[in-house]
Each structure stands twice: as C-alpha cells, then as structure tokens.
Amino acid sequence: MTRWDRDDVRVDASEYASRFDDAEASGDEVHGEAALCDALLGRPSRVLDAGCGHGRVAIRLAALGHDVVGVDAAPDMVALARTLSTSVRWLDGDLVALDVLDLGAPFDLVVAAGNVVPLLEPGTEPRAVAQMASVLAPGGLLLAGFGLDADHLPLDDAPFALTDYDHWCAGAGLRPLERWSGWGQEPWDGGSYAVSLHARPGDGVGED
C-alpha cells in the first residue's frame, strides 16, 4: 500500500482539486511546477507527469504547447483529470510499473510534483525512480520536488533523506544538474523542501 492510500493521508480527488482552485481564486500562484518545466524545455516537448493527481500540472503544460501524458495510481484522481482536459493522455498506472504502460515515445522531461516520491509504497522508491529514468530520451530530465520534514509532508516524518533520493537517481544512471529550495528556482539552502533536477546522459546533457 502506498503512503498516499493511508487513511490519515489520502484526500478525495474533488476535495484535493478544490484546494488549488480556492488558492488560485485568492490570487496564489499554483502553476510554479509547470512554469519551471516549461522554462527547462523547448516547445513542444514530450512530458510525463508522474503521479499526476487531478492533472493540475499536466493540464497547464498542455496549454503551454507540450505533448503531455499523465499517470497516477489513484483511480479517482485520473477519473477527475479526464473530465478536466482532453488535451492530456491520462493513464491509470503505478510508477513502479511504467514499463507495462503504453507510454509512446521517450520523454524529454518527467516531473514528479506534489510529494509524489515520499508518498510511494515504502521500499518501492528506487524502483520508481529507475522506471521514471527508463522512459527518458537521451539528455532527458527528471524533475522532482518534495518535502523533507513533517511541515512539508502529510506524514509524521520524512520517509527518507535527500541523500537517499540522490543515491536512487545515481543507481538509475542519472546525473545531478541542479537543486533548488522551491519551484521558483530559489537557491538551495539546505532547508526542508527540495526541487531536484537530474538528467539521463546523452546529447551532451548530464555528461562530464
């Protein structure tokens, strides 16, 4: 069972979506993840929104002109996403088994936003990172942001350290490129939230 499926963590899809709708209505910036993805890419690019939820990031990326696929293991989230946009290809699926999905061509970028990695099933994180890396084109990017303490997670504590995530990325053949403290590319300060950019070597990206 994923950590997201725990009774004390899981949120109904419509309730989850309404949080962002309310935040946007009040003037908050809710598209920082998509803005960073777009800034890292040329248009159009192929993007996989891994753990897409109700599709907030994927829908915005599609509106910006990218070819987007959204994958999530929560059926209610994917069902809601399908009602919100037909511009994204939505798939029910687990990140530890991307190889059984018909994803099409490799991706220029895989984004895992919204604490996706910390909410995976315990022990499956290395496999999920390896699967995300495996669907990248040469030179493709893996961009992931997640909390590192209870204040930034719907959990009592962080299930792993940032050094663990870097180790999983290295094991998947990815090279570190950048790390920020937020989706606005704030300099990394060693704090309690990190946005990490890794690359699959190829085409001069992520290579010495």
112: enclosing H helix or E strand: strand 107-112
Residue 206 has pLDDT above 70, yes or no: no
Once rounded to an integer, what is the mean pLDDT over residues 2-12?
Answer: 84
Domain assignment present for 207: no
Residue 98 has pLDDT above 70, yes or no: yes
**Which pair of tokens denotes residue 85?**
């946009």
Contact 208, 175 (CB under 8 A): no
Within a domain: 157: yes
pTM here is: 0.93
- Please indicate, yes or no, if residue 63 is contained in any of the structural domains: yes
- pLDDT tens profile 11-45: 888 887 887 778 778 887 779 999 999 999 999 99
Q: Is residue 206 a part of any domain in this protein?
A: no
Question: Residue 82, exposed/middle/buried by CB under 10 A (0-12, 13-18, 19+)?
Answer: middle
Domain with residue 26: its CATH number is: 3.40.50.150
204 is a domain residue: no
The pLDDT mean for the chain works out to 94
Residue 11 forms part of a structural domain? yes
pLDDT tens for 149-187 read 999 999 999 999 999 999 999 999 999 999 999 999 999
Domain that includes residue 13, residue range? 3-199
Torsion angle defined by CA atoms of residues 65, 70, 75 and 81, in that order, rounded to the nearest 10 degrees = -10
Query: If you compute the radius of gyration of the chain from its CA atoms, what whole number of angstroms results?
Result: 16
Q: Count other C-beta atoms under 10 Å from residue 178's C-beta.
A: 14
Tally of domains in the chain: 1
The answer to whether 132 and 98 are in contact (CB under 8 A) is yes
Q: Is residue 205 part of a domain?
A: no
DSSP 8-state class, residue 61: H
Per the CB < 8 A criterion, the answer to whether 155 and 8 are in contact is no
Tokens of 56: 């907030």
